[in-house]
Amino acid sequence: AQKVTQAQTEISVVEKEDVTLDCVYETRDTTYYLFWYKQPPSGELVFLIRRNSFDEQNEISGRYSWNFQKSTSSFNFTITASQVVDSAVYFCALSEVGTQGAQKLVFGQGTRLTINP
């Protein structure tokens, strides 16, 4: 069965610090997708990134960057120069695809990130 582990339950840093959120996954599939979602205090889930299993290039989007390492089954997320608005719960997820396009996201338990001013 597929599994996503976010070992860091809570992280608290001071504004402008860099912070890395860890994500480790387990799957037997050779083709899969990984995702990060943000859940701010308002409660909605906001899509951040999708990465497929064949593309190990790191990705950067503004202050956000993602490091995908297939060898260690990890897909870590770094926020550079953190801001108070980055405070949220962050979820890593793995896409499990079955027959006829059946798809479900398997989520980690989430990491609650608090950025203190």
Partner 1 sequence: DSGVTQTPKHLITATGQRVTLRCSPRSGDLSVYWYQQSLDQGLQFLIQYYNGEERAKGNILERFSAQQFPDLHSELNLSSLELGDSALYFCASSAGNSYNEQFFGPGTRLTVL
Residues that bind partner 1 (CB under 8 A): 33, 35, 37, 43-47, 50, 52, 91, 95, 97-98, 100-110
**Which residue lies nearer to partner 1 by CB, 78 or 109?**
109
At 109, the amino acid letter reads Q
As a dihedral over the C-alpha atoms of residue 43, residue 49, residue 54, residue 59, rounded to 10 degrees, the angle is: -140
Task: Report the nearest approach of partner 1 to the CB of residue 64 (Å).
Answer: 15
Q: How far is it, in rounded angstroms, from Cα 92 to Cα 74?
A: 10
Task: Report the nearest approach of partner 1 to the CB of residue 96 (Å).
Answer: 9
Q: How far is it, in rounded angstroms, from Cα 109 to Cα 39?
A: 12
Task: Report the nearest approach of partner 1 to the CB of residue 7 (Å).
Answer: 14
